[in-house]
Amino acid sequence: MSAEGLIAALVLTTTAVMIVALPLLIRSADAEGASLARKQRERLAAYYERVLRNLRDLDEDHALGKLDDAEYQQERSEWLQRGAHVLRALDALEHPTEAAHMPLAHTAADDAAVDRAIDDAVEAAIQAYRKKQGSHVN
């Protein structure tokens, strides 16, 4: 086989491989983006469920007299704001062009930061509760 024939065969083979592989690579990238969006949606939905659960617990504690009105209103307001933020983030995932200005977590570091912030808020609430219980015991 001549050098020109070898080069032509190599070019044709490379072109054929690219034509076959390109759609597969594009689908893979689309699937990865869809997977990220699905994971974000799941995490936001789980956090929204936590917000609803905490609001129900607050309502129950207030009804039982475990929380005074001022503390109840403050904590309820905070949880309502968190719920509103989550709903806006969920809406941004559903309609990305309308809410493109909203930042969404795209990296594992961002996800870890969100998880730490949630854990810190829970720990702060536990500490405040324990401090309050300690003052009632004395």
Q: Is residue 98 part of a domain?
A: yes
Q: What is the mean pLDDT of residues 2-23?
A: 79
Position 21 pLDDT exceeds 80: no
Distance between CA atoms of residues 87 and 99, nearest Å: 12
Number of domains in the chain: 1
Let me know if residue 86 belongs to a domain: yes
Is residue 109 situated within a structural domain? no
Q: Give domain status of residue 75, yes or no.
A: yes
pLDDT at 125 over 50: yes
Give the pTM: 0.49
Q: How many CA atoms lie within 13 A of 65 on its CB side?
A: 0
Q: Is residue 58 part of a domain?
A: yes
Do 99 and 92 contact (CB within 8 A), yes or no? yes
Residue 63 belongs to some domain of the structure: yes
Q: Is residue 16 part of a domain?
A: no
Place of tokens 């929204």: 48
32, two tokens:
């990865």
Domain that holds residue 93: 39-104
Does residue 27 fall inside a structural domain? Answer: no
CA distances (Å), origin 87, targets 34, 47, 81, 98, 112: 19, 10, 10, 14, 20
